[in-house]
Amino acid sequence: MKKKIISAIALVSAVILTLGCATGCGKKGKTVDDIKKAGELVIATSPDFPPFEELKSNGAVEGIEIDIMNIICEKLGVTLKIEQMDFDSVLPGVQAGKYDVGVSGISVTEKRQKNTLFTDPYCLAAQAIVVTDGSSIKSKADLAGKTIAVQTGTTAETYCMEQGYAVNSYAANNDAESALTSGKVDAWVIDDLTAADMVAVYNADNSDSPLVILDEAMTTEPYAFAFAFGSEELVKEINGIIDGLVADGTIAQIFKDNNAPFTSPETK
């Protein structure tokens, strides 16, 4: 099933690359030469998504995707420049040409592919369901009639809304977590690795009222990096780098270094 999903995504991406976005939306993109002349690759990110992106106390943004982008920049011979913002501003900013690439735990969906050019996926992620200890919610089926916290602009938000769940959306995952712990919502849907990271931090300080991640996931989806149409040449170059990093185990090692399990995108 996962391979079929990834194959379908790859097919749609290939068609878009072939057409070159004939509708004229290619003017916002960058070429490899553009990036090398600028000497930097500017990424848009929302650093509230550990272990993918996290703002440290010293002001640095670190995480799995930052590590990957640093390698990509090294191979392109440019430096990495990080622009921080709320997640729901990442894709619009990239599409408008304000930033070169969206790097923020972005799931590839058919809807997003209509307005955004994606690289090959570098991993598969699941959307986890988080509840409070002792909650009556034990599985996805138990969410019927419940209120769910999600981050604004995420696939978790889209999926939950499309499935008819009552949804409260928040700009930051920290706010969504607070909504759950304060009893404003019944559950919280978020990427599984980020859930594991944030729940571990919360439970370390709140052992008497811990949060629980359910065994059953909400959805499974591929993660990739987002570019504006017109960046086809640049994306092709970066795809070669990403595919090599997946094949030689570099990305798996980056996940391990960040204490996170790795699930291959199975693109090959």
**Would 240 be classed as within a structural domain?**
yes
Please state the domain count of the chain: 2
pTM attached to this predicted model:
0.82
**Would 267 be classed as within a structural domain?**
no
**Using CA atoms, how far apart are residues 200 and 152, in angstroms rounded to an integer?**
23
**Would 29 be classed as within a structural domain?**
yes
**Would 144 be classed as within a structural domain?**
yes
Question: Quick one: pLDDT at residue 261?
Answer: 94
Strand partners, 226: 102, 118
Q: How many helices (H) and strands (E) does the chain have?
A: 10, 13
Q: What percent of the chain has pLDDT over 90?
A: 88
Question: Domain residues for 249?
Answer: 2-124+222-257
Question: Does 185 share its domain with 227?
Answer: no
The chain-wide mean pLDDT, for the chain, equals 91
Question: Does 107 share its domain with 139?
Answer: no
**Would 215 be classed as within a structural domain?**
yes
**Would 266 be classed as within a structural domain?**
no
Lowest mean pLDDT among 9-13, 27-31, 32-36, 211-215: 9-13
**Would 33 be classed as within a structural domain?**
yes
Lowest mean pLDDT among 6-20, 36-50, 161-175: 6-20
Rg of the Cα atoms in the chain: 18
Q: Which residues contact 70 (CB under 8 A, 6 or more apart)?
A: 80
Strands 117-118 and 187-191: unpaired
**Would 265 be classed as within a structural domain?**
no
Question: Quick one: pLDDT at residue 24?
Answer: 42
CA angle, 108 then 109 then 115, to 5° = 95
What CATH number is associated with residue 139?
Answer: 3.40.190.10
Question: Does 117 share its domain with 208?
Answer: no
Question: Does 170 share its domain with 245?
Answer: no
pLDDT in tens, 10-28: 555 544 444 444 444 445 8
